[in-house]
Amino acid sequence: MRRFFRTPKGLLLLILSALVLLAAPEEGWRAAWPGLVAASATALAIDAPILRWREGEWVFPSGALLTGLIIAMILSVHVPWHVGATASAIAIVSKYLVRTRAANVLNPAGVGLLAAFYIFKTEQDWWGALPDLHPSAIVLLIATGVFIAARVNKLPMVLAFLGVYYTLFTGAAFLGNPAHVAEIFRPPDVHAALFFALFMVSDPPTAPTRPRDQLVCGVLIGLVSFAVFEWLGAVTYLLVGLLAGNLLEAARRLRIAAGRRSNVSLSGQRHLARGQ
């Protein structure tokens, strides 16, 4: 256990748990706990046997627990418990259905939340990002988020997203109707953007590793999020932007893999020609 809590997943679990403990009393434990338990337990129950089959032994599904927690911390505490459970189920299944050889293509929590919105028309208040606490709580959100993003080496992507995101919305405020985008700069939206950037955009399995690729992906997520908000006004604008970035990264990985296979094939043909 001590070794696990030194890993990025272990540290993230500690951070999310701390945020839950701070935010839940404000929301009311009686309202918050059904969604937390349902989302987390469903994710664990689905992922554990799949990992047992894949790995040949029982493995603690820490990634599933993190996915369930994030889903519960974003959905409104007032939605029925089965909504969080369904979102978590879709999230975990998507991780295995849409993947390359190396990793899953799409952020599971993003997929689950987006699906839940279209199935149940769910509310998303991002209560786990501490928007209802004293304004000073945002310092804790930023500090813990920057710590984990730096630990997984994803700060360039986080900063690229936030830079493009707020630059575009600031420009829209000056060039258009400020009231249309004013909510972006106020709680809970500002907390949602920070939580999204620091804990979801930085997801290691779906994010690039090289800083240059991270910058490109972060810029795309910011552009798509802004475009969806402006054109559709959908509350899922951040999630759509995230999945667009995931698809860009998946395409890049597939292109690299195809290039490697092509190089191996050419190398084999050259060796065969030399042998003849």
Q: What is the pLDDT of residues 67-76, one digit of tens each?
A: 999 999 999 9
Q: Give the closest residue to 255 by CA, choosing from 213, 219, 201.
A: 213
Reading the block at residue 248, the tokens are 């860009």
d(CA 157, CA 105): 17
pTM of the model: 0.92
Q: Give the closest residue to 160 by CA, choosing from 274, 93, 248.
A: 248
Does position 127 have pLDDT exceeding 80, yes or no?
A: yes
In this prediction, residues 31-60 reach a mean pLDDT of 95
Does position 171 have pLDDT exceeding 60, yes or no?
A: yes
Residue with tokens 């997801």: 203
Task: Check if the beta carbon of residue 68 is closer than 8 Å to that of residue 39.
Answer: yes
Q: Does residue 187 sit in helix, strand or coil?
A: coil
Q: What is the pLDDT of residue 208?
A: 95
Report the percentage of the chain scoring pLDDT > 70. 94
> pLDDT-derived band of residue 185, with 50, 70 and 90 as boundaries?
very high
Q: DSSP character for 264?
A: H
In this prediction, residues 161-176 reach a mean pLDDT of 97
d(CA 206, CA 221): 13
Q: What is the pLDDT of residue 270?
A: 56
**Cα angle, residue 47 at apex, residues 81 and 191 outer, rounded to 5°:** 55
The answer to whether the Cα torsion of 71, 83, 80, 46 is positive or negative is negative
Burial of 45-54, coded b for 16+ CB within 10 Å and e otherwise, reads bbbbebbeee
In the chain, domain spans: 4-261
Does position 276 have pLDDT exceeding 90, yes or no?
A: no
Residue of 275 and 138 predicted with greater confidence: 138
Least confident of 42-46, 176-180, 188-192: 176-180
Q: What is the pLDDT of residue 220?
A: 98
